[in-house]
Amino acid sequence: MEIKGIITPILTPMYEDESINYDELKNQINRLIDAGVHGLFFFGTNGESYILSREEKKKVLEVGIETVNRRVPVYAGSGCVGTRETIEMSCLAADIGADVLSIISPWFAAISQAELLEHYKTVAKKVSTPIVLYNIPGRTGVNMEPSTVAKLADIDNIVGAKDSSGNFLNMLQYIELTKEKDFSILSGNDSLILWCLLAGGAGGIAGCSNVYPKNIVGIYENFVAGDMDKAKECQYKIQDLRAVFKHGNPNTIIKKATQLLGYPVGDCRAPFNGLVEQGVAELKAVLDHYKAIGME
């Protein structure tokens, strides 16, 4: 299985009481697959992995895999703070049927590159499922250095890395240091998807594809088809939505935007559910503009 294309870090729909809305989860899965996404990633930042219990994750993944029904690859976020817990969650996700594991760097306590290396090596020995590294230093407090990624790329079942650093040079070094290996680099920053592809990357894990999946898929599909003008058009169109991120937590805004489009996905779990009035007003204006131009 190739790690490539536009993979949606699918949000986790919830009712007002913050319980999970599994019917709407199924609806979103079908909506995204129908729009042409190349994979679904459960328990990313947009899926609120940081606030779901182990049992909730188990059921979400079971429902998700059953609903996907092998139409696209299923990625499961299984990274935890500790190595032992990460192994347990990775084995659980693999047993349920995830095609790929996405493992975020441990967070909160300071960690060295040597410790990161040992952490991932230890986890990789315990599972045979392909692993995609997840670098998001803004949330974990540590950047996975390109040299560390290059070393981990030599492990058979570590097959790719998602870079959400927002630092294009960091992502470019990931690509350069692994280009001779069977290893895929994915942009975790939606603004850099096309530039990742141009540099030799494989695509993106794109939060904005929860809102406008066809447009985000268009970045990749037009690039592959050689139509750079259309690929650039799709890439630039999402900037207005991303500009609203200055008003709050990005995944809170993504979920609110999806809700405002008419899908009953609910709010993010408290306390990560606030959006100032100015932010809501700007978001509505952006969505109205997109509606006027027929964006999907």
Which residue numbers are catalytic?
134, 162
- Residues near 98 by Cβ (< 8 Å), separated by ≥ 6? 42, 61, 65, 74, 75, 76, 78, 129
Rg of the chain in Å (alpha carbons)? 18
Could you tell me which of 187, 276, 228 has the C-alpha nearest to residue 9? Answer: 187
Beta bridge partners of 20: 14
Written as one string, the DSSP assignment of 192-236 is GHHHHHHTT--EEE-GGGGT-HHHHHHHHHHHHHT-HHHHHHHHH
Give the number of other Cβ atoms within 10 Å of residue 83's Cβ: 17
Q: Are 221 and 213 in contact (CB under 8 A)?
A: no
